[in-house]
Structures are given as structure tokens and as C-alpha cells.
Structure 1
């Protein structure tokens, strides 16, 4: 016979569980409050995030100029002007043609979905499930509605355009100040914080900056390579809308896993509608080959340090971010998950036994690798 339960141990276990549940609940409430405050301040936070992303891309050039004798203000000014010229060139050479063909791209995707539905309903599949047909009809209707709303917004959404311009201007100004004064931020932060916080917060900030920079630069480089190779394959096969599809491939690279699947699906559907089944299969082969090169060659060469996230975590983060905040949430989900991972790793290091305290790196001379923003 089994021994009777100890009332003392049972009560102690219940108290421990209740205390742990209350602490977890408090953490969740604090996270919800932080997200609510973030949403209320989004008009300021969004330009800050864009500026951080831009700074991670342009900081290597600014650091190169600073280490070769350029004063911080002059180096930041030169890099900012260069970034503006590159952005203007992208708008002139890519964005305008893509905008002109975006309506045709959406129409061809809708036509491709209809063709796939007709093919699935015939032999050899003979799929006649009303639920599948209804789901496809719903997806097609939503896509058509989205196309209409995008066109309406482009014609009448003056406020959206103004908000976009304000965000862009603020992001450029913030990027300039980050490039100019960023290396002085961590020493300044160390002087402002009391006690142990003067060590912990600057260390976590430096690690977070390195992680964010590695993510943005590696994804941009890999996305560019994907866009070039896939675009070249589409051009050789004579698939229409090559430029919009290449741009879509590049942008989708910033949403790991989900972005590649979405861009590949659109390219295959366009090829199926325009060139037929054989070219669609060839496009699918090209995309698979390029994705294999990306996973086994491009990323190991370009991304020296991984984000430390399992593929399942990345997939769940992108799905959750998209459900909570749409496209913006999908874009920010992976870097945010990586930053949470940085914090958790540092916390584990500090809670481990016999762990030496980290030293704060002084970046005030402008030669460090982490220009944490001011």
C-alpha cells in the first residue's frame, strides 16, 4: 500500500505553486502594460525602430570613416547623405515600377488561385469538398478587397502619406544622431544608473545591439542574394513582373520562414498563370535550389553569429507577431524574440553560481563595435 500524503508537504507545495502562479501573473500583467504603453507611444516608437534598423545597416561605413580620422559629425553626415542618395535611387529605379505593376501582380495572384482551384477540382485529384472551395473563395475575396483598399488608400489616403513622410524624416534625423553620438551612450548610461544596474543594463544593451545588427545586416545581404538569383531565373524563363517579384523576395527575407514561403508561392502562381505548368515547376525548382543555397551556404558565410533561436521558435514568433500586429508584427517578431533571448541568457549567467561580473566596455572613443543609440 502506498503511504498517505503528508499534509505539511502538500500545503507547502500548494503555497509554492500559488506563489509561483502569482509571480507569473504579475509578470504577464507587467508585459501587457508595457505593450499598452508602447502602443500609445507608437507614433514615436516606430520612427525609433526604423532608425535603429537603418543605423545597423549604415554603422559599419560610419565606423570605417571614424577609424580613418573622420570626425563623428562629419562621418555621420556623409553616411546619412549616402543613405539618402541610395534610398532615392531605389525609389526611382525600383519602387516606381513596382508601384505601377502592383495592381497587375495582385490580379495575377487572384487568377492563379482560381486556376489552382479549378485544377484541384478536376482529375486526378477530383477534390469536391465544399469547405475547401469556400475557403479559397474567401481568400480570393479578401485578396480582391485588399487590392481595392490599397488602391483607395493610395488615391485618398493623404494622412497615410503624411504620416509616412514624418516617420521617414524622424528616422533619418535619429539615424544621424545615433551614428554621431551612439558610441558615447553606454558610458553615459553607466554614469546615470545606480549600483548593479550600472553594470547589467549597459551590458544587456551592448549585447542586444550586436544581436540586432547581426540580424538586420545578414537578412539584408541574404535577401539581396535571393532576390538576384530568383529574379535572374524568372527573367530567363520569361516570367512577367520580374522586378516586383524580386523586390517581394528581398522584403520577405526579413520575415524568416514565412516570408520565403509567401514570396515563393506568389512567384509560382504568377508563372503558372502566365507561362503554364512546366515553367511553374521550373520556378519552384529554382526557388527550392536558391533556398537550399541560402540555408547551407549564404547564411553560414554572411551571418557569423546566429540569433540562437530554434526554427520552431522563429515560426511561432512570426505567427504570433503577425496575428497581433499584422505585417509590422511579423517584421519585428524575430528580432524581438532574439532580444528576449539575449536578456534571458544574460539573466541565466548572472543566476549561475561562481559567475564573474561582466565588465562594461568603454566606447567613448568611437572605435567600438556597438553604437548603442542615444
Structure 2
């Protein structure tokens, strides 16, 4: 007991650095939870892991619930959201033309001229294509019937040996199902008429909104930045600029790629003598705005039209042309033209098109990739802001360095598994502390310079 009291008393004479180290080690043992990675009991480590997992799961559920609410609201307001998104895409394409016209005409007149010019160009293309489609549709129908008869004749031979009675029975069953579903077909006709009316309203709203965006688009972002306040204004300006650049870059690059695809495939259709080549070329151009899915769908349609109109050999040649064009697009055009504008993995593109098409049909598939690119831009901006605040802050960097040093010390203590040592203090026979620096024959007395033996831990 006397020895314990003596050691407790003598700790007051420890050097300050050693005393700080001892207190630091004591704190590390008493408060293992101050750092998420501190050394402690296994149950404490497991409990911290469960707490972190539960907190992450709770936040993830809240984020998913918020996203679900946003998607539900978009579905309810789809009548207004669709023309808004289409107008933004069109405005991003027409804005450079309007900016050029503003150099010699008023802003409103430049916007009106740009929008009306684009509308006239679209109507001119459709008026040139639709008559040829109508003229060639009858010929295509006759060739389709001839092709079906050829397929039926081929199927009746070995190895299939399908009899005409089986084919007629299948046709009769299909006719019966169509007659039974005549009521549903009638409802579908009325719903189709309603859909045409809705499409007309959507097109009109898109045209008007496009005019407003082209005319007042330059004022929108400063107004929102001013409304949001001084703290959020720089972020809104930077993020809005990036989103607009990404959207306009995507539309322009995709238009270039689609035009190249439509031109090459259109030349192949003309050379092979495939009917309705103009309509198929236009569909190829429009299908290019739905990545992967649009190209496959329109390419398959073109090959089928060639099969029933010009024969199997030319259809196979057209298939080779389509595959060649798609390879040129994927390996050359997209990395060069679209790489900087999008920077999206093919898996993300395909998944976004599938989700958008399943939820909102053709408009959803068309808008899926621009929306996905916008989401990626927002996530990248947030990641940049986190990096700026976590790595470039001197206080955060210094605090992280201190935590790393503490962790290294605790790991060394855990590996050694030795208790904290009490600093030995040498005293003389009168209990006076001695200088820890040894003399020739042992520790030196601070006052007299005499040397005595150090304190033996085994002695009382």
C-alpha cells in the first residue's frame, strides 16, 4: 500500500510529455467510442456497425420515398410536364439561331422568326415524304401478301411440312378473336381520337413554350439566382449553366449522329430499290434520338420492308449496311461527337430508356437519356462540392491528420497488448526525486549530485 501511495505521489514529477502520453492512453481506453474506428470490445464494434447500417438504411428509405413522391407528382402533371420538357429541348437547339438573329432584329422578332422557321422546315419535310408514302403503301401491301404466300409455300415443304389447313385454322382463330374484341377495338378507336386531340394540344403548348424559352431564356437563370438568395445563387448559376450545356450538347450531337445514320441507310435503301426509302430515312433520323432501342427498331423495320419488297438477298445486304452503320456510330461517332456532352455508360443509357419507355411510353423513352444526363450532372456537382469542403479545408485536413495519428497509436497499442507503463522515478533515501538523466554510476540527485540506485518495481 505504501508503494502505491509513493508511485501516486511521484507521478506529479513525471516529465510533461510522458504525462501527456499517459493521459492520452488512459483516454483511449476510457472513451473508445469517440472515433468510429477506435479500438474497443467486439460487441462495441458490431454495435457501431449496426448503428451505421441502420442510419444509412433510414436515410436511403427517406430518399427513395422522396423520389417516389416526385415521380408520382410528375405522372399526375404529365400533361404539363411533357410539353415543358420538349420545349426545353427544342429551345436548346434553336437558341443559337435566335442569338444570331438578335444582332440585327429585336429579341421577340428573332425568337418568333426562329420558331416559325423551324416549324415551316418540319412541315416542308413532312409534305415531301407523306405523298410518296401514300403512293407506295398499296404496292407495299401487295408485295407483303405475295411474301406471305411465299413463306406459306416454303413452310409447307420439308422439313416443316405445315399444311394449308393448319394455317387456315390459325387464321380463322385470329379472325374470331378480332371479332370478339370488336368492342374493345371500338373503345380503342375513340381513345385513339382522344389521343390525337391530346397530341395536338401538347404540340401547340410545346410550340408556345418554345417561343417563350427562346425569347426569355437568358433572363430565367439570373431571375432564379436572384430569387434564391446570396448563399444559393452561385450554386444555382453554376448548376443551371452545366445543365443547359449538357442538354443542348446532347441534342445537337444526337442530331448530327442521327443525320449521318439516316443519310447512310437512306443511300443503301435507294441503291437497293426499297420502297418508301424517304419515310424509312426520316424514321431512322427520329429513332436516333432514342439511343440503342430506336436504332434496333427502325433497322429491323427497314429490313422487313426490304424482305417483302425486294427479296431475301437484298434484305440481307441491307441488314449488313444497318449493322455497319451502327458500328460506325457506336465506335467512332459517339465517342467523338457525344463523348464530352454525355459521359454516360451504355448500361445507364439502356436502363434509362427502358424505365422511361415503360412508365411514359414513347415520350418517356425519348426524354429518358436527357433526364439521366441531367441527373448525372447534378450528382457530379454535389460530389465536387463535397470534395471542396472535405479536402481543401485546412481545419478539416488537420483534424483528419490528428485522427489518423490517433488511430495509428491505438493500433500499435492493440498489437502490443501491453498495459500503460508507469514512468519510473528515482528517489533517494529521503524521498527526494532524482534527475532522470543518468550519471556515471546511476541517476544523479538534482540537488547534491549524489547518485543512488533506481527504484526497483519489485521492492516495496
TM-score range (shorter-chain normalised) is 0.7 to 0.9
The yes-or-no answer on 1:85 pairing with 2:120 is yes
Aligned to 1:212: 247
Q: 2:94 aligns with which of 41, 52, 58?
A: 58
Aligned to 1:27: 63
Tell me which moved more, 72-81 or 30-39. 72-81
Partner secondary structure for residue 43 of structure 1: helix
Measure, in 2, the Cα distance between the counterparts of 1:59 and 1:46: 20
- Aligned 8 A contact 1:47 1:170 in 2: yes
Larger Rg: 1 or 2?
A: 2
Partner secondary structure for residue 305 of structure 1: helix
The yes-or-no answer on 1:221 pairing with 2:250 is no
- Aligned 8 A contact 2:132 2:276 in 1: no
Measure, in 1, the Cα distance between the counterparts of 2:266 and 2:203: 28
Aligned to 1:194: 229
Aligned to 1:360: none
Give the deviation of 1:28 after TM superposition: 0.7
Aligned to 2:209: 174
After superposition, the C-alpha distances for 1:109-147 in whole angstroms (9 at most, x for unaligned) are: 9998998899899989x8x9xxxxxxxx9xx99xx99xx
Measure, in 2, the Cα distance between the counterparts of 1:64 and 1:15: 59
- Aligned 8 A contact 2:87 2:206 in 1: yes
Q: Structure 1 residues 349 and 264 mapped into 2: Cα distance closer, same or farther (>3 Å)?
A: same
Aligned to 2:52: 16
The yes-or-no answer on 1:332 pairing with 2:367 is yes
Q: 2:354 aligns with which of 298, 304, 319?
A: 319
Measure, in 2, the Cα distance between the counterparts of 1:333 and 1:43: 17
Partner secondary structure for residue 371 of structure 2: helix
After superposition, the C-alpha distances for 1:76-98 in whole angstroms (9 at most, x for unaligned) are: 11102211211221331224654
Measure, in 1, the Cα distance between the counterparts of 2:120 and 2:43: 74
Q: Structure 1 residues 186 and 284 mapped into 2: Cα distance closer, same or farther (>3 Å)?
A: same
- Aligned 8 A contact 2:306 2:315 in 1: yes
Tell me which moved more, 159-168 or 169-178. 159-168
Unaligned runs of 5+ in 2: 1-39, 163-170, 394-460
After superposition, the C-alpha distances for 1:224-255 in whole angstroms (9 at most, x for unaligned) are: 22112211211111122212221221111011
Partner secondary structure for residue 352 of structure 1: helix
Measure, in 1, the Cα distance between the counterparts of 2:333 and 2:74: 35
Bigger RCO (CA 8 Å, 6+ sep): 1
TM-score, structure 1 as length reference: 0.78
Partner secondary structure for residue 239 of structure 1: coil
- Aligned 8 A contact 1:101 1:244 in 2: no
Aligned to 1:345: 380
Q: Structure 1 residues 103 and 197 mapped into 2: Cα distance closer, same or farther (>3 Å)?
A: farther
Alignment size in residue pairs: 337
Aligned to 2:274: 239
TM-score, structure 2 as length reference: 0.64
The yes-or-no answer on 1:273 pairing with 2:308 is yes
Measure, in 2, the Cα distance between the counterparts of 1:117 and 1:16: 66
Instruction: Give the alignment of 1:153-164 within 5 angstroms.
Output: 157-164=192-199
Measure, in 1, the Cα distance between the counterparts of 2:346 and 2:187: 38
Give the deviation of 1:304 after TM superposition: 6.6
After superposition, the C-alpha distances for 1:27-62 in whole angstroms (9 at most, x for unaligned) are: 111011101111111111111112112112211211
Aligned to 1:362: none
Aligned to 1:289: 324
Aligned to 1:253: 288
Unaligned runs of 5+ in 1: 129-136, 358-374
Tell me which moved more, 112-121 or 70-79. 112-121
- Aligned 8 A contact 1:208 1:339 in 2: yes
- Aligned 8 A contact 2:136 2:275 in 1: no
Partner secondary structure for residue 196 of structure 1: coil
Measure, in 2, the Cα distance between the counterparts of 1:174 and 1:104: 41
Q: Structure 1 residues 20 and 350 mapped into 2: Cα distance closer, same or farther (>3 Å)?
A: same
Partner secondary structure for residue 342 of structure 2: coil
Q: Structure 1 residues 156 and 200 mapped into 2: Cα distance closer, same or farther (>3 Å)?
A: closer
Measure, in 1, the Cα distance between the counterparts of 2:83 and 2:382: 29
Tell me which moved more, 25-34 or 70-79. 70-79
Give the deviation of 1:325 after TM superposition: 2.2
Aligned to 1:133: none
Tell me which moved more, 94-103 or 279-288. 94-103
